[in-house]
Amino acid sequence: MEKQKYFIQSVSVSTGQVFIDSFTGLTFGIRQINYDRLASGSVTFPNSASIDINNISPGQKWTFKYKDSEYELTLLELNYLYDSFKVQILEK
């Protein structure tokens, strides 16, 4: 029997707030979304320092390790009108 892979998708998160994954400890926040749908913010991977991210767009992916597994963080949505974003974490 194959082990179930970890998967989580956030609800809409407002800019200036942070998404926190309670399982891995990853944090992801967007400070600003500009009119051409590019954003800046920061991400903190498990057991790592915070990294500033700039000029990111939906579909951008980052991979990271937690315990003995590899995960993929994907920016699903940047909503300029509602000033919000969505992310997804998937165990590979």
- pLDDT, tens only, 27-79: 999 999 998 889 999 999 999 999 999 999 999 999 999 999 999 999 999 99
- Give the global pTM: 0.93
pLDDT at 17: 97
* Domain parsing of the chain, residue ranges: 7-91
Which tokens sit at 70? Answer: 């590899």
Cα separation of 52 and 90, whole Å?
22
pLDDT at 6: 96
pLDDT at 1: 63
